[in-house]
């Protein structure tokens, strides 16, 4: 059956293990189509967390791992050195065939390094990419790569377009997702050397390629998938968060500047909460690392139980939709076109 | 003496020629240190605009140009084809020595192309860069390159760091400006191949180099100068505007959703206006194209008279501070270090 088995890195994330364990138990109780959930990490610690959560569903299983990769460690080195880290062991469950997917809210770099090293890439895929679902006032879009592969050739970027398109259709639910290439102007002559070559590859592909998109277009909800290299994508992701944070700070400063404004702001608390909710990436359940031979979903460091639940849901749906099988098929078609 | 002579592209910008002419007249009346202001464009049209503005200071002079480069034209091609365009003629006044600086709020690409083609780069400078002053809740920073040079070598990026540093000190008024290299992590091992090499060059330079900065840090006001290639910088600039626009839309939607919220929002109008003002890039008077042999300041397409006034002010200050002379000196020092 397509019932999924998911390995959860119980020790990764700012609120680990508490929120991770809570979210996993919630997923075990509420999610359909999940056959097994592994909690990977310090067994004693995990047992303690579980003990406060009532009757634990039988599909939860603990797998002991004695080490943790910290957020400030160099990811690749830590993965090599800490053989018994929770993220390494979780990924190895996928590699060994005991699990179909891994979820971690720990160090993104460590999850990427472990997956790239242990799972390797899918057939025909050269490099992996982190796909982030970004909220906009119109509709969310998939941004990839958000940081897995900083130096990309046109061929690699074209593969990202294929993977993002499959993800948008299968998991975000877009029919015939439109794909844009992030550049500095909409004409095909605009961009750097790499994007200009990528433009030609995408034009020839079977994707619903709409051409270049600019930074201006991103949050207008114009396209379903935005393709760029991992350097640019990471900068876009973090710059967006930085701008939102700066505006939040400005709003707070100004709204509390005098009693009249504070009075007015009282009536807008629900409005502010509503915006916070709509622009909250945690509802999309983390970002998958696409292109590796196994499903890997990476949660935000600040993931709470709800975010963990959604991350497990996305991992489970990716398994059910046979995401990697579809990616391999579509990548083959791309190869035929170029 | 160092009194500056500035050529203004009267026909460039969404509100040209009206706002351009008005801002230029204002500058002629109020700015110290300006010896001459050329209004370059259709003479009859400029005369008509001037006729409604009272007594015109004698330092304003009209120079006729029969053509205009439109916003949607391919910049380089338009500059080659339209020999008598206002931007071409304005830049030629600098080239010919009649003016020290040019200001345009028209097509950025056209201003860049005309300057690069006609003025060439300064001694020792390989490529030019657009320097944007970006507002943050803490203090503004200079972002460069915002779009003039999409493909950059480490050497070119190091030169951008030098030029941005000089600009920050002389025009933004920072003592010993701190310089950050935009990357995907703060450790020196993070980045793409180009930024890793650039890091080494900047470490050896005499600049106040603080290492890599991430997208997260940008609007925290951590550094005075942020260096990146023109592709990344353009994406950062436009993404920031896009995020701000999206949040504005969310706020408007939520604040007008019901009468209670509309009541509360009444008390916050001045707060919203204050934020708009603080985050308004037009107060910084446009972005200089650094590295060309002459001063070129590019205004936002939506420049009003105030923005034009500020752009002319920045151009005039750049001349008074002998910006290009200082850039050439500092670039020489960089050459000695690498």
Mutation target vs A (from B183, B236, B255, B276; most A CBs, 10 A cutoff): B236
Tell me how close the Cα of B69 comes to any Cα of chain A, in angstroms.
17
| Bond preceding residue B176 cis, omega within 30 of 0 | no
Contact between chains at A247 and B279 (C-beta distance less than 8 A): yes
Tell me how close the Cα of B213 comes to any Cα of chain A, in angstroms.
10
Task: Kindly list the residues from chain A whose CB atom is less than 8 angstroms away from the CB atom of residue B214.
Answer: 234-235, 238
Which of A74, A215, A250 comes nearest B238 by C-beta?
Answer: A215
Distance of CA B98 to the CA centre of its chain: 22
Give the CA radius of gyration of chain A.
Answer: 21
Contact between chains at B268 and A268 (C-beta distance less than 8 A): yes
A181 or B278, which is more confident: A181
Task: Kindly list the residues from chain B whose CB atom is less than 8 angstroms away from the CB atom of residue A272.
Answer: 254
Outline where chain A has alpha helix (H): 18-30, 43-51, 75-81, 86-95, 108-119, 154-167, 193-204, 230-255, 259-266, 269-278, 305-320, 323-337
Contact between chains at B236 and A239 (C-beta distance less than 8 A): yes
Tell me how close the Cα of B157 comes to any Cα of chain A, in angstroms.
15
Number of C-beta neighbours around residue B325 at 10 A: 11
Tell me how far apart the alpha carbons of residues B272 and A327 are, in angstroms, rounded to a whole number: 46
Please give the residue of chain B at the shortest CA–CA distance from A277.
Answer: B250
Contact between chains at A267 and B260 (C-beta distance less than 8 A): yes
Contact between chains at A244 and B245 (C-beta distance less than 8 A): no
Please give the residue of chain A at the shortest CA–CA distance from B77.
Answer: A189
Which of A137, A255, A260 comes nearest B249 by C-beta?
Answer: A137
Contact between chains at B239 and A220 (C-beta distance less than 8 A): no
Mutation target vs A (from B129, B246, B277; most A CBs, 10 A cutoff): B246
Please give the residue of chain A at the shortest CA–CA distance from B73.
Answer: A187
Q: What is the pLDDT of residues B65-94, one digit of tens each?
A: 999 999 888 899 999 999 999 999 999 999
Contact between chains at B235 and A215 (C-beta distance less than 8 A): yes
**pLDDT at residue B73 in the model:** 87
Which of B150, B215, B272 comes nearest A239 by C-beta?
Answer: B215
- Band (pLDDT 50/70/90 cuts) for residue B338 is low
Tell me how close the Cα of A234 comes to any Cα of chain B, in angstroms.
6
- Residue appearing with tokens 């939040």: A248
- Residue appearing with tokens 């004693």: A44
Q: What's the token pair of residue B21? A: 């002419």
Nearest to B323 by CA among B162, B179, B208: B162
The 3-state DSSP class for residue A122 equals coil
**pLDDT at residue A103 in the model:** 97
B284 or B104, which is more confident: B104
Contact between chains at B253 and A137 (C-beta distance less than 8 A): yes
Contact between chains at B244 and A249 (C-beta distance less than 8 A): no
Per-residue 3-state assignment (H helix, E strand, C coil) for chain B: CCCEEEEEECCCCCCCCHHHHHHHHHHHHHCCCEEEEEEEECHHHHHHHHHCCCCCCCCEEEEECCECCCCCCCHHHHHHHCCCEHHHHHHHHHHCCCCCEEEECCCHHHHHHHHHHHHCECCCCCCCEECEEECCCCCCEEEECCCCCCCCCHHHHHHHHHHHHHHHHHHHCCCCCEEEEECCCCCCCCCCHHHHHHHHHHHHCCCEEEEEECHHHHHHCCCCEEECCHHHHHHHHHHHHHHHHHHHHHHHHHHCCCHHHHHHHHCCHHHHHHHHHHCCHHHHCCEEEECECCEEEECCCCCCHHHHHHHHHHHHHHHHCCHHHHHHHHHHHHHHHC
Please give the residue of chain B at the shortest CA–CA distance from A213.
Answer: B235
Task: Kindly list the residues from chain A whose CB atom is less than 8 angstroms away from the CB atom of residue B275.
Answer: 247, 250-251, 254
**pLDDT at residue A275 in the model:** 80
**pLDDT at residue A1 in the model:** 46
Mutation target vs B (from A78, A236, A273; most B CBs, 10 A cutoff): A236
Q: What's the token pair of residue A83? A: 């053989």
Task: Kindly list the residues from chain B whose CB atom is less than 8 angstroms away from the CB atom of residue A192.
Answer: 150-151, 229, 231
Q: What's the token pair of residue A169? A: 């259709």
Q: What is the pLDDT of residues B219-277, one digit of tens each?
A: 998 999 999 999 999 999 999 988 888 888 888 888 888 888 888 888 888 888 888 87
Nearest to B19 by CA among B322, B225, B280, B301: B301
Q: What average pLDDT does range B197-224 have in this prediction?
A: 94
Percent helix / strand / coil, chain A, rounded to 5: 50, 15, 35
Tell me how far apart the alpha carbons of residues A57 and A45 are, in angstroms, rounded to a whole number: 18
Q: What average pLDDT does range B146-174 have in this prediction?
A: 96
Task: Kindly list the residues from chain A whose CB atom is less than 8 angstroms away from the CB atom of residue B241.
Answer: 215-216
Contact between chains at B219 and A264 (C-beta distance less than 8 A): no
Tell me how far apart the alpha carbons of residues B182 and B204 are, in angstroms, rounded to a whole number: 17
| A120 phi-psi bin (left φ>0, alpha ψ -120 to 50, beta other) | left
Distance of CA B76 to the CA centre of its chain: 19
Contact between chains at A232 and B230 (C-beta distance less than 8 A): no
**pLDDT at residue A2 in the model:** 64
Mutation target vs A (from B138, B157, B217, B231; most A CBs, 10 A cutoff): B231
Q: What is the pLDDT of residues B9-64, one digit of tens each?
A: 999 999 999 999 999 999 999 999 999 999 999 999 999 999 999 999 999 999 99
- Weakest mean pLDDT among A147-161, A246-260, B140-154, B203-217: A246-260
Q: What's the token pair of residue B328? A: 């050439």
The 3-state DSSP class for residue A208 equals strand
* Each residue's pLDDT expressed in tens, for chain A with a length of 338 residues: 469 999 999 999 999 999 999 999 999 999 999 999 999 999 999 999 999 999 999 999 999 999 999 988 889 999 999 999 999 999 999 999 999 999 999 999 999 999 999 999 999 999 999 999 998 888 999 999 999 999 999 999 999 999 999 999 999 999 999 999 999 988 877 899 999 999 999 999 999 999 999 998 999 989 999 999 999 999 999 999 888 888 888 888 888 888 888 888 888 888 888 887 777 665 567 899 999 999 999 998 889 999 999 999 999 999 999 999 999 999 999 877 55
- Weakest mean pLDDT among A249-258, B200-209, B297-306: A249-258
- Residue appearing with tokens 């020999």: B83
Contact between chains at A246 and B182 (C-beta distance less than 8 A): no
Please give the residue of chain A at the shortest CA–CA distance from B150.
Answer: A192
């Amino acid at each position: 059956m397509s019932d999924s088995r998911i390995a959860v890195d119980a020790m990764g994330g700012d609120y680990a293990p508490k929120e991770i364990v809570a979210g996993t138990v919630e997923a075990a109780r509420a999610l359909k189509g999940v056959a097994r959930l592994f909690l990977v990490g310090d067994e004693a610690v995990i047992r303690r967390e579980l003990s406060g959560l009532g009757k634990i569903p039988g599909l939860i299983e603990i797998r002991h791992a004695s080490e943790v990769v910290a957020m400030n460690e160099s990811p690749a080195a830590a993965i090599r050195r800490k053989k018994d880290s929770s993220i390494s062991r979780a990924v190895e469950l996928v590699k060994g065939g005991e699990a179909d997917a891994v979820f971690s809210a720990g160090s993104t770099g460590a999850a990427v390094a472990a997956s790239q090293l242990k799972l390797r890439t899918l057939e025909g895929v050269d490099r992996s990419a982190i796909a982030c679902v970004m909220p906009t006032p119109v509709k969310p879009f998939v941004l990839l790569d958000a940081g897995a592969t900083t130096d990309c050739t046109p061929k690699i970027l074209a593969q990202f377009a294929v993977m993002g398109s499959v993800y948008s259709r299968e998991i975000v639910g877009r029919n015939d997702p439109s794909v844009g290439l992030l550049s500095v102007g909409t004409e095909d002559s605009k961009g750097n050397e790499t994007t200009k070559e990528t433009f030609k590859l995408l034009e020839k592909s079977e994707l619903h390629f709409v051409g270049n998109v600019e930074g201006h277009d991103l949050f207008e909800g114009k396209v379903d998938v935005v393709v760029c290299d991992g350097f640019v994508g990471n900068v876009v992701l973090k710059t967006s968060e930085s701008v939102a944070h700066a505006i939040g700070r400005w709003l707070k400063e100004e709204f509390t500047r005098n009693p009249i404004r504070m009075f007015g702001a009282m009536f807008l608390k629900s409005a502010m909460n509503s915006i916070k909710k709509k622009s909250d990436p945690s509802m999309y359940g983390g970002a998958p690392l696409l292109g590796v031979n196994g499903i890997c979903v990476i949660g935000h460091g600040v993931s709470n139980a709800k975010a963990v639940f959604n991350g497990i849901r996305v991992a489970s749906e990716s398994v059910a939709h046979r995401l990697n099988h579809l990616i391999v098929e579509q990548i083959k078609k791309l190869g035929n076109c170029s």
